[in-house]
Amino acid sequence: MEWKEVEVVVQEDQARIRLDQFLVRRFSIINRSGWQERIDAGLVQVNEAKARPSRKLHTGDRIRIEFQKKPEPDVIRDVEIVHRDDCILVVNKPPNLPVHPSGIYYKNTLAHILIDRFSQDPEHP
């Protein structure tokens, strides 16, 4: 499994809150107990040091987070164009195809499928 490292710097309006609360606000896909587990496992560091979930943050603190890169789940990409004119596009999408990027889905979404399909269309750039 591949790992991805993300670093964020605490801004003035984000200071004085707990590390776990900051992470929930910034990366809401993971709940507070999930962040606490990751912090305790050493996957989150503040200023290059292991931290506790209850640590109060200060302006300028550097938070480094290690994420395990997981492949996006496969989806059915067959999107039927029901109607298309200059004002509207009507599609029939397969079930379980997310409409927009969220959570572990980024490219395998209706939005990106349509962008890929129509970015080649000189009439509708």
Phi, psi dihedrals of residue 37, rounded to the nearest 5°:
-65, -45
The answer to whether residue 125 scores a pLDDT higher than 60 is no
- At residue 103 the predicted structure's pLDDT band, cuts being 50, 70 and 90, is confident
Mean pLDDT value across residues 23-34: 90
Q: Which helix (H) or strand (E) holds 20?
A: helix 19-26
The answer to whether residues 46 and 21 belong to one domain is yes
The number of distinct structural domains making up the chain is 2
The answer to whether residues 89 and 44 belong to one domain is no
125: in domain: no
The answer to whether residues 85 and 64 belong to one domain is no
The answer to whether residues 85 and 54 belong to one domain is no
Fill in the DSSP letter of residue 95: T
Mean residue pLDDT of the chain comes to 90
User: Which CATH number do you get for residue 52?
Assistant: 3.10.290.10
Percent of the chain with pLDDT over 70: 95
Domain hosting residue 41, numbered range: 2-69
Mean pLDDT value across residues 32-59: 96
Closest CA to 60 of 117, 12, 121, 108: 12
* CA 33 distance to own-chain centroid: 18
| Assigned token pair, 68 | 């395990």
46: in domain: yes
Its pTM stands at 0.59
Calculate helix-pair angle for 32-40, 19-26, nearest 10 degrees.
Answer: 120
**What is the rounded distance in angstroms from the CA atom of residue 44 to the CA atom of residue 49?**
9
